[in-house]
């Protein structure tokens, strides 16, 4: 399965995906990495692996549609079959959603539907919840609203800061994102309304 990863920043989830892919663990390979930031460390991580790394500047286009048409063109040119958002800070619009229906995944650093949007870890920490975690979900037209594939739970400890909690969550992100991709690659994910079921591996 050919993956296209969109990342705006440091790219630690990209790294986890590339590592799992290179180890032959997920039945997928990263075909291209695209960023909306020229200085995103994610691009550097891709280059170190010899994976095509492309910067597309959203500001160079008159509209979000035009920008996304270029992104879609790039993804298609690289034969991408599944798009993985990994710290991609722009909201996905209709052009991308129509080009990759039920083929865009995202990871969010909280237990959705709680603490959607930016800084999910800090929102949870400030709220005072005793458990938080992370969520891999299909992307729909909303922000962090699509059908949930996998979640992982971590405790919030009394001596946590937003940063120590974020670090605990990030460890789990790096496990569940490759796992979700693996399940997709195996053709095991079935979306029924809001629900995603993982079919058993047939033997």
Residues that bind ligand GRF (CB under 6 A): 7, 9-13, 86-87, 107-109, 170, 173
- Residues paired with 170 in a beta bridge: none
64 assigned binding-site residue: yes
Q: For ligand GRF, which residue has the nearest CB?
A: 87
Residues 78, 108, 137, 174: which is the catalytic one? Answer: 108
The phi-psi region of residue 202 (left if phi > 0; otherwise alpha if psi is between -120 and 50; otherwise beta) is: beta
* Catalytic (active site) residue 78: no
12 assigned binding-site residue: yes
Closest CA to 155 of 137, 136, 135, 172: 172
98 assigned binding-site residue: no
Identify which of residues 112 and 192 has a Cβ nearer to ligand GRF in the complex: 112
Identify which of residues 39 and 201 has a Cβ nearer to ligand GRF in the complex: 39
Q: 153 and 124 in contact (C-beta within 8 Å)?
A: no
79 assigned binding-site residue: no
Q: 178 and 107 in contact (C-beta within 8 Å)?
A: no
Dihedrals phi, psi of 148, to nearest 5 degrees: -85, 130
User: For residue 136, what are its two tokens?
Assistant: 């891999």
Burial of 182 (0-12, 13-18, 19+ CB in 10 A): middle
User: For residue 132, what are its two tokens?
Assistant: 């938080």
Least distance (Å) from ligand GRF to the CB of residue 91?
12
11 assigned binding-site residue: yes
Least distance (Å) from ligand GRF to the CB of residue 103?
18
Q: 197 and 190 in contact (C-beta within 8 Å)?
A: yes
The phi-psi region of residue 112 (left if phi > 0; otherwise alpha if psi is between -120 and 50; otherwise beta) is: beta
Least distance (Å) from ligand GRF to the CB of residue 19?
12
Least distance (Å) from ligand GRF to the CB of residue 63?
24
Identify which of residues 179 and 186 has a Cβ nearer to ligand GRF in the complex: 179
Identify which of residues 25 and 199 has a Cβ nearer to ligand GRF in the complex: 25
Q: Provide the annotated binding site for (6R)-10-formyltetrahydrofolate.
A: 64, 106
Show which residues are catalytic: 108
């Amino acid at each position: 399965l050919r993956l296209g990863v969109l990342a705006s920043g440091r790219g630690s989830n990209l790294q986890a995906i590339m590592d799992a892919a290179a180890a032959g663990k997920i039945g997928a390979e990263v075909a291209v990495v695209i960023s909306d930031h020229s200085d995103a460390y994610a691009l550097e991580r891709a280059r170190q692996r010899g994976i095509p790394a492309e910067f597309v500047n959203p500001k160079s286009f008159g509209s979000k549609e035009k920008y996304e048409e270029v992104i879609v063109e790039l993804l298609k040119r690289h034969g991408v079959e599944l798009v993985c958002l990994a710290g991609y800070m722009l909201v996905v619009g209709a052009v991308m959603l129509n080009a990759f229906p039920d083929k865009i995944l995202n990871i969010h650093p909280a237990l959705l539907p709680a603490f959607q949007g930016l800084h999910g870890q800090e929102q949870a920490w400030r709220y005072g919840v005793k458990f938080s975690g992370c969520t891999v979900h299909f992307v729909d037209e909303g922000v962090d609203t699509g059908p949930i594939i996998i979640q992982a739970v971590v405790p919030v400890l009394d001596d946590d800061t937003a940063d120590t909690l974020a670090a605990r969550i990030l460890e789990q992100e790096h496990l569940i994102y490759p796992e979700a991709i693996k399940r997709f690659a195996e053709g095991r994910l079935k979306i029924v309304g809001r629900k995603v079921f993982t079919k058993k591996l047939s033997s």
